[in-house]
Amino acid sequence: MAFAYTPGLRVADCTLVRKERRLPLAGETLVNAGDSVTADTIVAKTHLPGNVKMLNIANVMGLPPGDIPELLFVKEGDSIEENQTLGQTKGFFGLFKNTVKSPIEGTFESYNKITGQAVLREPPVPVAIDAYLLGTVTEILENEGVIVEAYATFVQGIFGVGGETRGELKVLTDGPEDELTEDLIDESCRGKVLLGGSFVSYTTLNKAIRTGVKAIIVGGFDDKDLKEFLGYELGVAITGHEKKGITLVLTEGFGRMTMASETFQLLKSREGLLASVNGATQIRAGVMRPEVVIPLEGTETEKSSDKSAGAMDIGSPVRCIRAPYFGKLGTVEALPAELQVLDSEAKVRVLDVKFDNGEIVTVPRANVELIEE
């Protein structure tokens, strides 16, 4: 095998980023192909069906379900007000009438003659989606959304918390190995996306939230801090819906981890530009990694290697992603085809990695990831 496949995270100087901005349900698009948009431009909107309230009218009226329809004042599809009388029994000689009132404002959706249940629906909930990126609308997905494209610096993280946000990028640490400490955060950080180095603690994160920071991009974070931050133990890695007032993107992993210098330097060179950040991570089913996208206005060419995704060869830059070399960067020195025995006695396919200091070590192929571009 000339190359090995290994999943890697993208770190691109300038690449064409294509974002699908899709509504959860069919709706209407508000822009045209070719339009320039800012991150805040609303590109499509729709209405989600309102919540449902089930009301057993037959029970309330104390009559068999089949007798109800003729006693109803509303028909299916009618709009209804809260406390509006939906139906009434005939009573005895016009007395002792039983009435049914609507508990909600909305629509009288249906009545079932067998169960006696009526389905009442609350008014639709408006939903709008923005462009997320500063860029151009290149395609309209009829009734569903749009595609927005921009040439941008693109960095994928390994894990994140919190949804889409944006702000001006501000660099807070001197280097990728420095911790983003509490004292570095001041009023000038309000509304910004902060670039830290190796680590951020829960205390610092809290100060950032209090200061109105939009997002933090950092190498590592402690799992025990994650528990405190979320308020619960995260079982399965599906994030993005947290409403914590900040978005956190980890580029390396859990623990104190020096950010890959390439990532740090690249982001540092973009200080002052508007960064769109999304912490949503879904490692299973659908697979999504957090991202930082920094559109580069006026750029219309890609600056990236033409290496196909996932192809690893001699000389490819890689990052070790498991102990005992976790976080170390190097290049592929050899890709032996035969299986080798590890310290754990497992017999697996391996590769030799040469670190910057010249040291060459053997690691399982599964324990490195390709640093693309």
Partner 1 sequence: MAVASKEITRIMATDCGSTTTKAILIEKKDGEFRLIRRGEAPTTVEAPAEDVTKGVLNAVGEIEDLEGRKFLKADEDGVQVSPDSTDGVDIYMSTSSAGGGLQMTVAGVVKSMTGESAQRAALGAGAIVMDIVASNDGRLPHEKVADIRRLRPDMILLSGGIDGGTIDHVIELAEVIKAADPKPRFGVGYKLPVIYAGNKNARELVKEELGEQVELKVVDNLRPVLERENLGPARDTIHELFMEHVMAQAPGYPRLMKWAGHYVDGEWKQVPIMPTPGAVGKLIEAVAEKENIEVMGVDIGGATTDVFSVFSSGEETVFNRTVSANLGMSYSVSNVFVSAGYDNVMRWVPFHMDEADLRNRIRNKMIRPTTIPQLLKELIVEQAIAREALRLALVQHKDLATGLKGVAQERTIGDAFEQTQTGATLVNMMTLDLLIGSGGVLSHAPRRSQAALMVIDAFLPEGITMLAVDSIFMMPQLGVLSEVLPEAATEVFDKDCLIRLGTCIAPAGVNKKATVLAEVTLTKQDGSSIDIEMELGKMHVEPLGVGEKVNAVIKPAKNLDVGNGPSNEWIGELEGGVVGLIFDGRGRPFVLPKDDAQRIEKLQEWSKALDIYPERFMDLEGGE
339 binds partner 1, rule: CB under 8 A: no
Please, which of residues 118-137 interact with partner 1 by CB under 8 A?
A: 119, 121
By CB under 8 A, name the one of 77, 95, 187, 287 that touches partner 1.
287
Burial (CB count <10 Å: 0-12, 13-18, 19+), residue 298: exposed
289 binds partner 1, rule: CB under 8 A: yes
By CB under 8 A, name the one of 32, 34, 114, 315 that touches partner 1.
114
* CA atoms of 325 and 316, how far apart (whole Å): 17
360 binds partner 1, rule: CB under 8 A: no
* CA atoms of 260 and 371, how far apart (whole Å): 9
142 binds partner 1, rule: CB under 8 A: no
Residue 249: partners with Cβ closer than 8 Å, 6 or more residues away: 157, 159, 160, 215, 216, 217, 218, 277, 279, 290, 291, 292
- Closer Cβ to partner 1, 235 or 315, answer by number: 235
- Closer Cβ to partner 1, 185 or 368, answer by number: 368
Tokens of 154: 């693109």
* H helix runs in the chain, sequence order: 57-61, 202-211, 223-230, 261-268
Shortest separation between residue 211's beta carbon and partner 1, angstroms: 27
CA 79 to chain CA centroid, Å, is 37
Shortest separation between residue 94's beta carbon and partner 1, angstroms: 32
109 binds partner 1, rule: CB under 8 A: yes
54 binds partner 1, rule: CB under 8 A: yes
Yes or no: say if 141 and 20 are a contact pair by the CB < 8 Å rule: yes
Burial (CB count <10 Å: 0-12, 13-18, 19+), residue 356: exposed
- Closer Cβ to partner 1, 224 or 303, answer by number: 224
By CB under 8 A, name the one of 77, 231, 235, 298 that touches partner 1.
235
Shortest separation between residue 372's beta carbon and partner 1, angstroms: 7
* CA atoms of 354 and 339, how far apart (whole Å): 19
283 binds partner 1, rule: CB under 8 A: yes
25 binds partner 1, rule: CB under 8 A: yes
229 binds partner 1, rule: CB under 8 A: no
By CB under 8 A, name the one of 59, 83, 115, 269 that touches partner 1.
115
58 HSE (CA, 13 A, CB side): 16
Enclosing H/E stretch for 156: strand 145-156
Yes or no: say if 214 and 247 are a contact pair by the CB < 8 Å rule: yes
Enclosing H/E stretch for 18: strand 9-22
* CA atoms of 345 and 339, how far apart (whole Å): 12
Burial (CB count <10 Å: 0-12, 13-18, 19+), residue 70: exposed
By CB under 8 A, name the one of 324, 334, 356, 359 that touches partner 1.
324
Yes or no: say if 154 and 10 are a contact pair by the CB < 8 Å rule: yes
**Using CB under 8 A, which of the segments 29-37, 78-86, 105-113, 131-139 binds partner 1?**
105-113
241 binds partner 1, rule: CB under 8 A: no
Q: How many helices (H) and strands (E) does the chain have?
A: 4, 31
347 binds partner 1, rule: CB under 8 A: yes
**Using CB under 8 A, which of the segments 124-132, 173-181, 339-347, 352-360 binds partner 1?**
339-347
Looking up tokens 């729709």 gives: 46
- Closer Cβ to partner 1, 164 or 184, answer by number: 164
Query: Residues 165-204: x/- map of binding to partner 1 (CB under 8 A)?
Result: ----------------------------------------
306 binds partner 1, rule: CB under 8 A: no
Residues that bind partner 1 (CB under 8 A): 1, 5-8, 10, 22, 24-26, 49, 51-54, 109-110, 112, 114-115, 117, 119, 121, 144, 156, 158-159, 222-224, 226, 233-237, 253-255, 281, 283-289, 309-310, 321-324, 326, 337, 342-348, 363-364, 366-367, 369, 372
